[in-house]
Amino acid sequence: GKTRCQGDGNYWNAASFVTSSSYLHFSTFQGEISADISFYFKTSASDGVFLENLGNTDFIKLELKSATEVSFSFDVGNGPVEIVVRSPNQLNDDQWHRVNAERNVKQASLQVDQLPLEVRKAPTEGHTRLELYSQLYVGAAGGQQGFLGCIRSLRMNGVTLDLEERAKVTPGVKPGCSGHCTSYGMYCANGGKCVEKYNGYSCDCSKTAYDGPFCIKDVGAFFEEGMWLRYNFHSPGTSMKDLVSRTLLSSTDPETTAPDLNLSKEELSFSFSTTKSPCVLLYISSYSQDFMAVLVKPSGNLQIRYSLGGTKEPYNIDVDHRNMANGQPHTVNITRNGRDIVLQLDHYPPTSYSLPTASDVQFNSPKALFLGKVIEIGKIDQDIYKYNTPGFTGCLSRVQFNQIAPLKAALRPTNTSSHVHIQGELVESNCGASPLTIPPMSAATDPWHLDSASADFPYNGQAIGDGVNRNSAIIGGVIAVVIFTILCTLVFVIRYMFRHKGTYHTNEAKGAESAESADAAIMNNDPNFTETIDESKKEWLI
C-alpha cells in the first residue's frame, strides 16, 4: 500500500500561555531521589516561571530570570540551591530553545541549548530527598510573573506531560503553539509558503509548480505529437485588472495595482526533455502584437524570442553551445526586469542579455500561455508557425510563469483549473525528475581515447569488433575443442569399466547340473580321476 508517515506527537505536544496569570496544573512531581526535566520554550518576554512544585519547605522551580538567563533552583532541606546558565545571545528571540535540568543525590546540572553544562555538587552530608505535596504548576504559580509564550515536549522523569489536552479545558492557555514557521519555514522549498498549525506547520504549494509536503515534488506530463495545452490568463467574468493583480504579478510586487495591465518583469521556469526538433516549448500570446516564445530549432539548439514592440524583428537569444534535443531533462530559468534578461540553463552559470534600445520594455496585455503547440487566432511569427508542426513530443514539468503553474492547474483540480484547455490526453509523468546523465565525451576531449592508427599493439593480428585479437580467439577455440574431446573419452571409458565390474569365471565341471553330487560330476568328467582313486586309495579293515 501507500507509505504512511506519522509524526511524534510527544515532540510537538505544546501549549501557548497568552496571559501572565495563566497556568496548567498536574499531579505532584515524584522526584524524591532524582529529577530529570527537559522541554522547549519560545517567548518574546524577558522573564517568567516555566514550572514550579512546592512542599513544606522543599521546592523545585525552573524559570527565565532575564532575557539571557535561565535558572534552576530547588531545596531538599539543606537550604536553597540555584544554578544559572547565562547565554551570550537573547533567549527571548521568539525561537525555540531547549532546557535540560537534572538532580540526584550527588549533583545537579542545567543546560540550555548547546551552551556549557552548569554543574553543582551536592553536600556530602544533609538531606537528599525532595519532598513535595502541592500540584505541579506549569506557566505560573504563587502570584509570580507567569510565562508568556510556548512550551512543548515537557518531559519529567521520562514521562511526557500532555500539555495540549490540558490546555483545551484551561482558560488563558491554548493548545498547540504558533510560530513554527520561524524555526522550520525554510523547509518549504521552491517558493512554498509556510502555514502555522497547532501541532506543527504545513507548506502551501498552491502558488508553485511543485507538490508534496515540502513543495519539492515535480508536477509534469508527457506530451504526445499534436497535443497542446492553453492556459487563459483570464476566465469569463474576470476583469483584466483582476487578472494582473491576482495571477500575473506577485502580491508583494509594488506594481500589482498598475492600471496599464502591462508587465515590465516576468519570471519563467520549466524543465523539458525531447528527442525531436524543431518544436515550440512555450508561447505567451497577448491581445496586442507582443509575444514571448521558447523554441527548439532544427539544429536542436534553444532559442528565446521576445517581441515587445518598437522593433521590426523579434529579439532572439540563441543558445548554440549544446544540443537540447538529446532526450535528457533540461532546466530553463528566464528572468526579465525591464530591459535586462537573465537566462540559466541546467547547471551552467547564468548569462545576461539586454533588449535593444529601440525595444519596448512592457509586455502589453498578456492573453494566454501555450505548451506544446500554438493554437492562436491572428498573425503568428513565421518561424513559430513553421516550428508549430507537428508539435512538441516529450516531457514538460514544473512549468511556472510568475505565480501561474499551468501544468499543475491541469493535473490538480484547483480554482484555476477553469483557465485550462487541453487538446489530447494529458498523462502525468515524473519524467522531469529524471537525473541528468552526462553524454559520452568526444574523441577530441577524451584524454583516454586511443587512436588505433598510431597505437602499438603487442600482437599484429587484425582486431575484431570487440577489440579481441583474432589469433587469440582461434587458439582459444582449439583448446576448448581438445578439452571437450578428452572429457568425452574419459566418460566413455569410465562407463565401460563400471559396466563389467563384479563378474567372475569358474572351473565347475561340465554336467554338474545332472550329477547327483559334485564328486560324481568330477569322476564322470575326468577319466583319470577314477583310476587314481582305484590305485591310490583303498580301504582296509583291521
Domain boundaries, given as residue ranges, for the chain: 9-175, 181-211, 219-236+262-428
Report how far residue 199's alpha carbon sits from residue 12's, in angstroms, rounded to the nearest whole number.
Answer: 6
Burial 2-13 (b: 16+ CB within 10 A, else e): eeeeeeeeeebb
Q: How far is CA 292 from the centre of its chain?
A: 34
Instruction: Check residue 30 and give left, alpha or beta (phi > 0: left; psi -120 to 50: alpha).
Output: beta
Q: 62 or 312: which carries more pLDDT confidence?
A: 62
Strands 217-218 vs 210-211: parallel, antiparallel or unpaired: antiparallel
Residue 437 has pLDDT above 50, yes or no: no
Number of other residues whose CB lies within 10 A of the CB of residue 542: 2
> Do 219-236+262-428 and 9-175 fall under one CATH topology?
yes
pLDDT band at 288; cut points 50, 70, 90: confident
What whole-number distance in Å separates Cα of residue 12 and Cα of residue 59? 28
Beta strands in 9-67, from DSSP E residues, in sequence order: 14-17, 24-26, 35-42, 48-54, 59-66
**pLDDT value at position 251?**
36
Q: Convert the pLDDT of each residue in 210-237 to its tens digit.
A: 999 999 988 999 998 888 999 998 754 4
Could you give the CA distance from residue 454 to residue 459 in angstroms, rounded to a whole number? 14
Confidence of residue 474 (pLDDT cuts 50, 70, 90): confident
Backbone angles phi, psi at 446, to 5 degrees: -85, 115
Per-residue pLDDT, averaged over 392-396, amounts to: 92
C-alpha distance across the termini of the chain, in Å: 113
pLDDT digits (tens, 9 = 90+) for 507-518: 555 555 555 555
Number of C-beta neighbours around residue 362 at 10 A:
17
* Tens of pLDDT, residues 5-50: 766 667 788 898 888 888 999 999 998 899 999 999 988 889 999 9
Query: Is the domain 219-236+262-428 a CATH 2.30.30.240 member?
Result: no
Closest CA to 41 of 87, 74, 78: 87
Higher model confidence: residue 399 or residue 438?
399
Architecture of the domain whose range is 9-175 = Sandwich (2.60)
Position 380 scores a pLDDT of 79
Question: Which has more pLDDT, 278 or 11?
Answer: 278
Statement: residue 494 has pLDDT above 90: no
pLDDT in tens, 122-139: 888 888 899 999 999 998
**Cell of residue 132, nine digits:** 513535595
